[in-house]
Amino acid sequence: MAYVVVRHNVADYSKWKQFFDSAYDMRKKGGEQSVRIFRTADDPNNLLLLMEWESIESAQKYIQSEDLQKAMQEAGIVGQPDIYLLNEA
């Protein structure tokens, strides 16, 4: 199993969450198996996502897709996200 950790800030969590939820089918079709969303205690718009993917290749393809880049802009992501692709040791 492959994992993706994403850390990013959003302008408005509620707006971002609506966009994120609406992309459920797109993420599943891309190979996402599960996702957990965390918000930092001191800033609820600072997010960390732990996503499980069927493979590193499917995760990379999804991350690099134009659809995702467009959705991130519309969802109100502030700045560039930190993205880590991980294999379980």
* CATH number, domain with residue 41: 3.30.70.100
Assign 74 a pLDDT band (cuts: 50, 70, 90): confident
From the CB of residue 9, how many other CB atoms can be counted at a distance below 10 Å? 17
Q: Cα dist. 86→23, 42, 65, 71 in Å?
A: 22, 27, 19, 23
Tell me the whole-structure pTM to 2 decimals.
0.90
How many domains, in total, are found in the chain? 1
User: Which residues constitute the domain of residue 9?
Assistant: 2-87
Q: Are 87 and 55 in contact (CB under 8 A)?
A: no
Residue 36 has pLDDT above 90, yes or no: yes
